[in-house]
């Protein structure tokens, strides 16, 4: 496909993200014939590697993370390396020369993707140089792909955005939220808008509450330097959790175009009830993992992790209740929950329907509410929880499940989120990237919460590693007469 013709310039080419996600994804696209022959990659970073050394590293990454090597020489021959100092114009001028050579060699039609897969403090500087040193003077398309975090709060995000916008207009900016590349996150829209039986019920008359849980077993790993300044609220809620919420809550767009979908998502963010001051503790709960057991192994608490302040108040867990004040959702709580060192690695959405008006089967204790469960990961699929007749003489009910599994094999056959996002970017489809308005509104919401937490003197609540978070998170939802569904 000709439209994927492009030069892809990766800043941070020796980093973890590039190795684990970008090269394997590019390889998958290549193997599927979706990169055609008209592509070249320039990797840049500080290390003084040669093209050959870089290619060896690409091969290693494919071996380790894909476990295949078909056409690997062909594939890696498209990769070039340029040692780079992000603050030095000479570096960019050399890059430009190499870019022009490759443009001719591979007939790339002047198309360029600049992928910033590195420390966020350099995003602005790089964008400045790309323009000032002429890398964006090209006849083809140019696109800037930016990894998270996009700022630390609204103010810093605004500054970063203003700086980037000097060199790239909004339509050329692709802000990554890798959750938007996940197959089942993309499926939320299809489940809602391609089925007759959900949409009529998708409102406050029939839905009692919605729960979004994204739990991890991993701890902070080697990322404490970043994580200590972030915490779960900035790391997961501002982006991934709020994005999933927007897709669940948005109105049907009039058309499935980037602009229409984004504009519906923005409306959800605008309808989010701001939580501030004293209300924060009523609506949001934070927690930090202590020592505990994960898969039968003892693990240390957060404060004993490498590079973590022994008195750290950083939250590794957040639970919250969000209200969307519009006609559709008035009165329906959206509960979110995310954290590290929890019981399982799993992302799920549970839509709990309201109880039916009365229970005719009163020989039974209580009817189970109907649930629609969207399994995002590791399993991909949907489950409907219904009540049916128990076999036997009596009219007793029995909860049953209707299950659809997207592929049944733990995501092995579904393309990685990054593969989809790279493909979209190559084709100029920004739907599954976040628009600035979404970023700004979600920071605005989240900032009010972090402000209060930062001013609190009380100790952060703790939870044992391997559990589903602190007791406070249970109380948060129990106060409303609900409980968290911890479903398989």
Strands 462-465 and 284-294: parallel
Task: Kindly tell me which residue out of 189, 235, 305, 379 binds ligand BG6, with binding defined by CB under 6 A.
Answer: 235
The Cβ of residue 24 has, within 10 Å, a number of other Cβ atoms equal to: 22
Task: Give which of 356, 335, 286, 338 is closest to 315, Cα–Cα.
Answer: 286
Contact assessment for residue 50 and residue 81, using Cβ atoms and an 8 Å cutoff? yes
Task: Kindly tell me which residue out of 128, 153, 216, 474 binds ligand BG6, with binding defined by CB under 6 A.
Answer: 216
Number of residues that bind ligand BG6 (CB under 6 A): 5
Supply the minimum distance, in Å, between the C-beta of residue 284 and ligand BG6.
Answer: 19
Whichever of 136 and 238 has its CB closer to ligand BG6, that residue is: 238
Contact assessment for residue 175 and residue 433, using Cβ atoms and an 8 Å cutoff? yes
User: Is residue 321 marked as binding?
Assistant: no
x/- mask, ligand BG6, residues 334-363, rule CB under 6 A, reads -------------x----------------
Whichever of 172 and 177 has its CB closer to ligand BG6, that residue is: 177
Torsion of CA 202, 206, 207, 208, to 10 degrees: 170
Whichever of 143 and 348 has its CB closer to ligand BG6, that residue is: 348
Report the residue number whose CB is nearest to ligand BG6: 235
Which residue has tokens 């501002």?
A: 238
| Catalytic-labelled residue, pool 28, 38, 78, 240 | 240
User: Is residue 112 marked as binding?
Assistant: no
Contact assessment for residue 80 and residue 42, using Cβ atoms and an 8 Å cutoff? yes
Question: Is the CA virtual torsion 389, 392, 395, 397 positive or negative?
Answer: negative
Residue 380 binding ligand BG6, by CB under 6 A: no
CA 216/CA 448 separation, integer angstroms: 25
Contact assessment for residue 322 and residue 245, using Cβ atoms and an 8 Å cutoff? yes
x/- mask, ligand BG6, residues 172-191, rule CB under 6 A, reads ------x-------------
435 classed as catalytic = no
List CB contacts of 216: < 8 A, sequence separation 6 or more: 338, 339, 340, 341, 342, 345
Contact assessment for residue 22 and residue 118, using Cβ atoms and an 8 Å cutoff? no
User: Is residue 242 marked as binding?
Assistant: no
Whichever of 142 and 182 has its CB closer to ligand BG6, that residue is: 182
Supply the minimum distance, in Å, between the C-beta of residue 308 and ligand BG6.
Answer: 14
Whichever of 7 and 237 has its CB closer to ligand BG6, that residue is: 237
Whichever of 148 and 321 has its CB closer to ligand BG6, that residue is: 148
Task: Give which of 417, 449, 453, 441 is closest to 150, Cα–Cα.
Answer: 441
Helices (H) and strands (E) in the chain, counts: 16, 16
Q: Which of residues 393-422 bind ligand BG6 (CB under 6 A)?
A: none
User: Is residue 131 marked as binding?
Assistant: no
Supply the minimum distance, in Å, between the C-beta of residue 370 and ligand BG6.
Answer: 27
Annotated binding site for substrate: 178, 182, 216, 235, 340, 345
Annotated binding site for NADP(+): 12-19, 46, 85-86, 148
Tell me which residues touch ligand BG6 (CB under 6 A): 148, 178, 216, 235, 347
Residues acting as catalytic residues: 240
Annotated binding site: 12-19, 46, 85-86, 148, 178, 182, 216, 235, 340, 345
């Amino acid at each position: 496909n000709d439209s994927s013709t492009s030069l892809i310039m990766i800043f941070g080419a020796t980093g973890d993200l590039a190795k684990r996600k970008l090269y394997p994804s590019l390889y998958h696209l290549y193997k599927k014939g979706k990169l055609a022959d008209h592509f070249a990659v320039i990797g840049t970073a500080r290390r003084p590697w040669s093209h050959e050394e870089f290619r060896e590293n690409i091969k290693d990454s494919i071996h380790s993370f894909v476990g295949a090597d078909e056409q690997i020489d062909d594939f890696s021959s498209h990769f070039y390396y340029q040692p780079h100092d992000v603050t030095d114009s000479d570096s960019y001028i050399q890059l430009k020369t190499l870019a022009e050579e490759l443009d001719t060699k591979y007939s790339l039609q002047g198309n360029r993707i600049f992928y910033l897969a590195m420390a966020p403090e350099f995003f602005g500087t790089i964008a400045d140089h790309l323009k000032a040193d002429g890398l964006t003077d090209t006849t083809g398309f140019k696109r800037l792909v930016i990894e998270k975090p996009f700022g630390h709060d609204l103010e810093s995000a605004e500054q970063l955005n203003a700086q980037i916008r000097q060199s790239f207009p909004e339509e050329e900016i692709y802000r990554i939220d890798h959750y938007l590349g996940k197959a089942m996150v993309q499926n939320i829209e299809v489940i809602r808008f391609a089925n007759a039986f959900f949409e009529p019920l998708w409102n406050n008359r029939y839905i009692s509450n919605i729960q979004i849980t994204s739990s991890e077993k991993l701890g902070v790993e080697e990322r404490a330097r970043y994580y200590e300044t972030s915490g779960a609220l900035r790391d997961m809620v501002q982006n991934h959790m709020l994005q999933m919420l927007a897709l669940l809550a948005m109105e049907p767009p009039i058309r499935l175009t980037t602009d229409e979908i984004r504009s519906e998502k923005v409306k959800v963010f605008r309808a989010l009830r701001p939580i501030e001051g004293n209300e924060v503790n009523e609506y949001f709960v934070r927690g930090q993992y202590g020592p505990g057991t994960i898969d039968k192994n003892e693990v240390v608490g957060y404060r004993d992790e490498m590079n973590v302040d022994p008195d750290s108040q950083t939250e590794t867990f957040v639970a919250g209740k969000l209200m969307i004040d519009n006609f559709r959702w008035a009165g329906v709580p959206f509960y979110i929950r995310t954290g590290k060192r929890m019981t399982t690695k799993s992302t799920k959405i549970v839509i709990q329907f309201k109880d039916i008006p009365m229970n005719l089967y009163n020989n039974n204790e209580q009817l189970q509410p109907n649930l629609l469960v969207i399994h995002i990961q590791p399993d991909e699929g949907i489950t409907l929880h219904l009540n049916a007749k128990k076999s036997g003489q009596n009219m007793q009910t029995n909860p049953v499940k209707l299950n659809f599994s997207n592929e049944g094999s733990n995501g092995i056959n579904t393309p990685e989120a990054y593969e989809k996002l790279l493909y979209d970017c190559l084709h100029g489809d920004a739907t599954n990237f976040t628009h600035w308005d979404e970023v700004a509104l979600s920071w605005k919401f989240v900032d009010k919460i972090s402000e209060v937490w930062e001013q609190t003197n009380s100790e952060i609540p703790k939870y044992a590693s391997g559990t589903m978070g602190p007791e406070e998170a249970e109380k948060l939802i129990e106060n409303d007469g609900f409980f968290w569904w911890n479903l398989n």
